Chain A
Amino acid sequence: METLALLADGFATSLSPINLMIVILGVTAGLFIGAMPGLGSVNGVAIVLPLTFIVPPSSAIILLCAIYYGAMYGGAISSILLGIPGASTAVATTFDGRPMAQQGKAGLALIAAAVASFVGGTISVVLFTLFAVPLADLALAFGPAEEFALVLMAFTTFVGLGGDDKLKTIIMICLGLVLSTVGLDLISGQPRLIFGDLPGFYSGVSFLVLAIGVYGIGEILYTIESSRTAPQVTPAKISLRDLGDGIRTMNRMWRTMSLGSFLGFFVGMLPAAGATPAALMAYGIARSTSKDPKSFGKGNIEGVAAPETANNAASTGSLLPMLTLGIPGSPTTALLLGGMVMWGLMPGPMLFIEQPDFVWGLISSLYTANFAAVAINIALIPLFVWALRMPFTVLCAIVMVLCIVGGFAPSQKMHDVWLIAGFGVAGYLLRKADYPLAPLVLALVLGPLMEKSFRQTLISEQGNVLAFIERPLSGTFIAIAALFFVLPLVKYLRKGGRRSVAPAE
């Protein structure tokens, strides 16, 4: 009941004309960013973050969340019309969305994607609302030891559950953590890793610099290399009759959609998983539980609905640990976390107590963002068809310029712009060599918290390392972390003799 009252207060904030306008603006921008092949929510948030200085901090976060949401909806558009996922999160949508478009049912597929995204988004926001308060209450009991254990657990999920190469994942986590220590030592205040006394490094390496480099410049370089020929845009027209047909068809798929929503929400909460695996899993489940599994991959509308509900639900799911615990569930939420810290809104349980207006305003804005996204998505379909015809070189040039200027704006140092270019090239090469970038960004954002909580605990416990396992909550987290870490090893040993068996995916 208390939650409902808080949520009602939140709506008073989010329904104010300025915030409503911001949500609509953010969702529209997100839809376009998501629809562009190669650019997804994480790229959009990284590139747009420096531009959000134009609005007050709490509105900036609402704007970024709306972009995040819009991009999740938008990803499906290029999956269906181009057959190229607009973002990795929409990969599963191409499986049936593309065949549907080729059969001349592009309009129906787009409507199905939008409606499914709306259902996934809404169910997961309701779940979010229900879980937020209990989780924040639980997190109130956390001391530095628990914080450290929780961050450690978040990193080990990448090793235990992530699909990437284990060694390369560990390298990227360590690299991110080491980069986070650049600057002044938290405890003693001495400068460290300033690389020959370069003054630019005294203030550390900003998460934004890494994110713009890797997700802005790096992504563009990657797309330049992989886009040799211009893709073919399938025309799509939408009539009111299509809309009615679409909604009637979708009405028969509640089982698939609610399954996708729950699955997406809980998978999305895990830092290592997130929207892409959630969408693939939902697609797999929808196919295997379907009465007609053979029709999947040939233009079954359920194959569009399942992944689209799951990836939207996952994006909400990944916001939950970010807001309540201060541990982001995805690279995009890691950037949101970094942005919030930059603006002095430290995510975590205290935020719920100190800034309830902001927290509930943000949560209620997720509801409005969903409504805005589904309406704008369907209304602007002709515009997206037109925008997808935009030459790729134009998009590249604009994004590059935004990266340069956006990198300069927060710190106003050319040092950061050079770092962005360097990170861009490095990120492009690392990505080509199958090094996962998500743990790198997450580690840079969480690094200071991890080191601070580790050293604080040891100082307050007079150097007793066992303090981490003696406290029940932190002990549990450490045990889970250890389990995640050992998991791949056990799997590897069990596979032992039968190496020839292809890894189950």
Chain B
Amino acid sequence: MLIADRVIAIAIMALSAYFMWHAIALPIGWNGMTGGPGGGAFPFWLSLIMLLSAGGVLIRSLMQAPSSQHFFDSQMLRSVILVVVALFVTIALIPVLGAYIAIPLFIFWYIKMYGRHGWVLTAALTIGTPVFLFFFFEVTLKILLPKGVTEPLFFPLYAMFF
């Protein structure tokens, strides 16, 4: 628990420093001309407060005695990592294979391989979800989801609904 706390505090400190480095691209001091802080002042000084507070959390955590409590539930951590990886793979695939291939793949993986559900439920959700998405977003809202290489397959559908 404490190690995770320290790692997160250090990560926040690093993030704050990164923000500060980017913020100084704009004036961070008092601008005498307009009477008020420059454009970079808000992100810079707030990041500094964040850096100092995270430093406080780190110091406090270093002074505490280590506890035996674990940050992650070791049995469930594998599930969480699996789902996160599947999510990232799905998002990466969307611009390439298109949302209508990537999302059903994700559902299939989640329901059948991860959830170990039956074929009927898997098929219903794998087919039903993209159909719902198509009618909700493309037909009703006129928001086109990315289709990647599958774009030509949708031309007849466009002709039908638009």
Contact = CB atoms under 8 A, between A and B. Distances in A.
Interface in B38-65: 38-40, 42-43, 46-47, 49-50, 53-54, 56-57, 60
Contact of B53 (A167, A391, A462): A167
A414 B77 CA distance: 27
A228 B25 CA distance: 48
Nearest to A425: B84
Contacts of B36: 187, 454-455, 458-459, 463
Interface stretch (A172-180, A263-271, A276-284, A381-389): A172-180
Interface in A417-473: 417-418, 421, 424-425, 428-430, 432-433, 435, 451, 454-455, 458-459, 461-464
B121 A394 contact: yes
B110 A397 contact: yes
B73 A225 contact: yes
Contacts of A298: none
A393 B110 contact: yes
Contacts of A132: none
A177 B110 contact: no
Interface residues of B, number: 67
A393 B111 contact: yes
A36 interface: no
A459 B33 CA distance: 9
Chain A interface residue bracket vs B: 35 or more
B116 to A, nearest CB: 8
A458 B90 CA distance: 48
Nearest to B43: A181
B57 A391 contact: no
B80 interface: yes
A341 interface: no
A301 interface: no
Interface string A165-201: 1011011001101100100010110101111000000
A371 interface: no
B107 A224 contact: no
A122 to B, nearest CB: 34
A185 B37 CA distance: 12
Given A177-B46, A228-B73, 15 more contacts: A53-B141, A170-B53, A171-B57, A174-B50, A178-B47, A192-B22, A217-B87, A398-B125, A400-B87, A401-B129, A409-B143, A414-B95, A429-B4, A455-B36, A459-B34
Q: Top 7 nearest A-B pairs by Cβ distance? A: A463-B35, A393-B115, A458-B36, A185-B39, A174-B50, A397-B110, A225-B76
